[in-house]
Structure 1
Amino acid sequence: MQRRRPRTAPAGGLALGAVVLLALTACSGGSGGSASSSPPPSSVSPSATAGADAPTRTDAPEQFTPVVMDVMSTPRWFRGTDGQVHLVYELRLTNAFPIPATVTRAVVRDADSGTVLQTLSGDPLTASMSLLTSGSQPTTELATATTGVIWFDVPLADPSAVPARIDHELTVTVPPGLPVPETITSTGAPADVDVDAPTVIGAPLAGTGWFAVGSCCDGPHRRTAQPITNQLWVSQRFAIDFNKINDQGYLAVGDRSKNESWPTYDQPVLAVADAKVTIAQDGLPDQTPQAPTPVTIEEADGNHVILQLADGVYAFYAHLKPGSVSVQAGDRVTKGQVIGRTGNSGSSTGSHLHFQLMDRPSALAADGLPYVFDSFTVTGRGPALDELMATDPATTPVVLDPATAGPRTDELPLGRDVVTFPSP
Structure 2
Amino acid sequence: MNVLELRASLALALVYVLRMLGLFMVMPVLAVAAMDYPDYSPLMVGLAVGGYGLTQAALQIPMGMMSDKWGRKPVILLGLAVFALGSFIASQADTMAWMIVGRILQGAGAIAGAIMALATDVSRESQRAKVLAIIGIAIGFSFYLAVIIGPLIAKSWGLAGIFSVTGVLAVLCMPLVKWVVPNGVKVSSGDTLPQKGQLAELVFSSQLWRLNVSVMVLHMLITLLFVQLPVTLLHFDMTLDSHWTLYLPVLGVSVLGLIIMMGMARGRTPKSYLFVGVSLMGAAFLGLALKDNSWWVTSAAVVLFFTGFNYLEANFPALVSSIAPAGQKGTAMGIYASFQFFGAFLGGMLSGIVTNIFSPEAAYLVGAISTLIWVVVLSGLKEVSRVKRITMSLDNTVAPNHHLSAKLMQVSGVLEVTLNSNSNAAYLKVNRDFNAVEARKVLESG
Report which of the two structures shows the higher radius of gyration computed on alpha carbons: 1
Greater length-normalized contact order (CA 8 Å, ≥ 6 residues apart): 2
TM over 0.5: no
Using the size of structure 1 for normalisation, the TM-score is 0.27
Structure having the higher helix fraction is: 2
